[in-house]
């Protein structure tokens, strides 16, 4: 294209590419789900301990406390396996 003074002027365009991936959105959703799962395990473990306090049979108390330990262990596993 010729300019006003007879100088050739080339017009160029530059495309800017943005790398947007869906991973931040997915990771935040995954962290939310994991957070709710951890909260559920903590509640289940707490309820198991409270229920074990009111049980009469030793075997029932043992099973309830083992379930609580398993729920709390799941919480620790979920958090420490990331690192």
Model pLDDT, residue 4: 56
Model pLDDT, residue 42: 87
Instruction: Write down the residue that tokens 């009111």 correspond to.
Output: 54
pLDDT in tens, the chain (83 residues): 555 566 665 666 666 665 555 555 566 887 888 888 888 888 888 888 888 888 888 898 999 899 899 988 888 888 888 65
| pTM of the full structure | 0.57
Q: Where are the domains of the chain?
A: 34-80
Strand partners, 2: 8
């Amino acid at each position: 294209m010729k300019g006003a003074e007879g100088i050739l002027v080339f017009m160029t365009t530059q495309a800017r590419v943005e790398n947007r991936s869906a991973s931040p959105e997915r990771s935040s959703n995954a962290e939310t789900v994991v957070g709710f799962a951890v909260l559920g395990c903590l509640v289940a473990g707490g309820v198991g301990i409270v229920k074990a306090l009111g049980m009469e049979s030793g075997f029932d108390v043992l099973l309830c406390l083992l379930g609580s330990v398993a729920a709390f262990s799941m919480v620790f596993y979920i958090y420490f396996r990331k690192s």
